[in-house]
Amino acid sequence: MNKKVDILVIGAGPAGIVCATTAKRYYPDKDILVIKNVENGCIPCGIPYMFSSLKNPQDNILSVDALVKNNIEVIVDEATKINREKKSVETIKGDEYGYEKLVLATGSLPVVPKIPGIGKKGVYPIIKEMDYLIRCIEEVKKAKNVLIIGGGFIGVEFADEISNIGGINVYLVEVLPHLLANSLDEECSLLVEEKLKNKGIGLFLNKACVEILGKERVEKVRFQDSEELEVDAIILGIGAVPNTKLAADAGLDMGKGKGIWVDEYMRTSDSDIFVVGDCAGKRDFYTRRDTAVMLASTATAEARVAGANLYQLKVVRENKGTIAIYSTYVDGLALGSAGLTEISAKREGFEIIVGNAEGADKHPKGLPGASKIKVKLIFSRQSGILMGGQACGSISAGEIINIIGMAIQQRVSMTELETLQMATHPYLTSAPTMYPIVLAAQDAYSKI
């Protein structure tokens, strides 16, 4: 079949869906077609919660209702080739679709380390596809000993959730000295480690899994110090790589290899082809160096920029780069990180000053449900600009980190945070006299 559409989007993950719906709002008269190669996708951030928190894993389906409601056509097929001169895309089913504007939202693929035995049955990379994940959950539920490889936020979430199933020995191995070490400083990582240990999860830190042993199925793993551990299922949580093959084959500029090169408006080296989400190259907020941060929140922000600007530059954007803003939740403990950590700031060569504060998330702290919240802020010593922050403790950390993230993006100063005007209420927030962001800024100021 040959068909011509105005806007063709490849991929229906968070970036593809948001880009298509945004484009429909800005250009209501344009025909939009989305091609997705997975019949039933999953909400990626909800995948760990399919193992236990969600009674029915199918509830984590990534719906395309928003596309259908907006009169956007969706087909299940796989784009295999872009013909830039003809402005068309070929698919695995043998069809060809012409376009005026093409959006690549092909996402990322899980990293599968090249260690002996990695292809054995019982080893599961995280693929964002419902039928595959349901099979994986069923297998994990039958297992006695499950190992998660990778102690970043995804690995930690899997360990926590799988331990809630009950009757399974859960282990987590991380090559760095601490969990979440790329996004949190040691004091916050220690809180997570304590939580997981208290749940009976076996932690192997500063250790690498170098071999997977067994006949057809995984039976054991070997670590670099020759220690062995009996396991019957392994989940790989060691990151993802941008899915760039289609773009590379089409001769688009691939930048420095950490995603397809794009300008501020998500345009590639071909001005009729845009790229959004995990497959798009990212630049660091502070150094402008290429970085491999891949988050749904960043992906959807990029998708909104591209969707609005496909035909004309309607939404002016000063893309300051990605600040890497994350949050996670481990057994009642909420953690968030935005921008540089103390360690990463020092590694980059920034002269910094750090402020800490700890208090209750309600006031007075004797109110029912009040719990602890810790905030850490990292400022440039000389210029006093906020460069990073972390919040750990009660659920409010999830939104406190978004305030910190906004402040980083707006280059807010120590003085501005010290004199922050905020809404407070006994049941909803810390006391105005003890607001942790303000206290952390004051603590930093006192060290100058």
Q: For binding to ligand FAD (CB under 6 A), which residues are involved?
A: 10-16, 35-38, 41, 44-45, 47-48, 78-79, 105-108, 126, 128, 154, 243, 246, 277-278, 294-297, 299
Q: Rounded to an integer, what distance in angstroms lies between the CA atom of residue 153 and that of residue 10?
A: 28
| Under 8 Å between Cβ of 341 and 388 | yes
Least distance from ligand FAD to the Cβ atom of residue 324, Å: 10
Q: Which of 93/288 has CB closer to ligand FAD? A: 93
Which residues have C-beta within 8 Å of that of residue 422, sequence separation ≥ 6? 429, 432, 435, 437, 438
The tokens of 96 are what?
A: 């060809």
Q: Which of 126/441 has CB closer to ligand FAD? A: 126
User: What is the distance, to the nearest Å, from the Cα of residue 160 to the centroid of all Cα atoms in its chain?
Assistant: 17
Q: Which amino acid is at 211?
A: E
Q: Which amino acid is at 29?
A: D
| Under 8 Å between Cβ of 245 and 297 | no
Least distance from ligand FAD to the Cβ atom of residue 280, Å: 8
The tokens of 346 are what?
A: 């020092």
| Under 8 Å between Cβ of 68 and 36 | no
The tokens of 314 are what?
A: 């309607």
Q: Which of 295/444 has CB closer to ligand FAD? A: 295
Least distance from ligand FAD to the Cβ atom of residue 78, Å: 4
Q: Which amino acid is at 139?
A: E
For 254, half-sphere exposure in the C-beta direction (CA atoms, 13 angstrom radius) is 12
User: What is the distance, to the nearest Å, from the Cα of residue 392 to the centroid of all Cα atoms in its chain?
Assistant: 18
The tokens of 231 are what?
A: 């396991």
Least distance from ligand FAD to the Cβ atom of residue 224, Å: 26
Place of tokens 């948001």: 18
Q: Rounded to an integer, what distance in angstroms lies between the CA atom of residue 118 and that of residue 221?
A: 10
Least distance from ligand FAD to the Cβ atom of residue 29, Å: 25
Q: Rounded to an integer, what distance in angstroms lies between the CA atom of residue 408 and that of residue 112?
A: 34
Q: Residue 405: phi, psi to the nearest 5?
A: -60, -45
Edge-to-edge strand list for the sheet holding 386-393: 325-330, 333-339, 386-393, 372-380, 352-360
Alpha-carbon Rg for the chain, nearest whole angstrom, is 23
Least distance from ligand FAD to the Cβ atom of residue 162, Å: 13
The tokens of 374 are what?
A: 């810790």
Least distance from ligand FAD to the Cβ atom of residue 28, Å: 23
User: What is the distance, to the nearest Å, from the Cα of residue 352 to the centroid of all Cα atoms in its chain?
Assistant: 26
Q: Which of 106/182 has CB closer to ligand FAD? A: 106
Q: Which of 108/182 has CB closer to ligand FAD? A: 108
Least distance from ligand FAD to the Cβ atom of residue 76, Å: 9
Q: Which of 45/134 has CB closer to ligand FAD? A: 45
Least distance from ligand FAD to the Cβ atom of residue 232, Å: 21
Using alpha carbons, select from 185, 438, 183 the residue that is nearest to residue 322: 183
Q: Which of 356/402 has CB closer to ligand FAD? A: 402
Q: Which of 212/235 has CB closer to ligand FAD? A: 235
Q: Which of 191/295 has CB closer to ligand FAD? A: 295
Q: Which of 137/360 has CB closer to ligand FAD? A: 137
Least distance from ligand FAD to the Cβ atom of residue 211, Å: 25
